[in-house]
Amino acid sequence: MLIDAEAYQRILGDELRKLRRKRGWTRKELNQHLQSEISLQTLATYELGTRHCSVVRLVELCVAMDELPQDLLAKVHRRVFVDEPGRVRIDLRLVIKDDQEELLPLRRWADDRLKRSGDAGNAEVNLDFPALERMAELCGIPTVDLIGRLRRLNPS
């Protein structure tokens, strides 16, 4: 299994930001709860996923926000990798916004599915391998290529 380091880092940052916001804290307030002081810019780059966070720093951030590091990493892992073997989670809104010519049939399907659901909050779907094979066939690309493209499209 290949790990997309950029996606992993970006999702880790997103989960850190969600955790901080859930507590109702600004970055400055989070910084006040840390054992070691770090710049607000550094906190921002962690949350944006543009700077790698050491394991010790990640644990420090989690402890400050009363979150078990393993729970945070489990959330990240679920977002980066499929929850079940042979399944891929996609955000229909991101598929619709994509402009890859080969994915036009998939965009049409995603747009129709989102319109029929009538609930933009329910835009994430899990696709099993047979569905992915059929969609790849409609798009005229190999299934593995489609899965890779969908994973790159869906950073969350």
Map residue 11 onto helix, strand or coil. helix
- Tens digits of residue pLDDT in 47-75: 999 999 999 999 999 999 999 999 999 88
Q: What is the pLDDT of residue 129?
A: 81
Residue with tokens 């078990």: 68
Amino acid 34: pLDDT: 97
Question: Would you state the pLDDT for residue 106?
Answer: 95
Q: Rounded distance, CA 132 to CA 86, Å?
A: 9
pTM of the model: 0.56
The pLDDT of residue 120 is 55
Residue 32: band (very low, low, confident or very high) from pLDDT cuts 50, 70, 90: very high
Does 1 have pLDDT greater than 70? Answer: no
Three state DSSP letters for 32-70: HCCCCCCCHHHHHHHHHCCCCCCHHHHHHHHHHCCCCHH
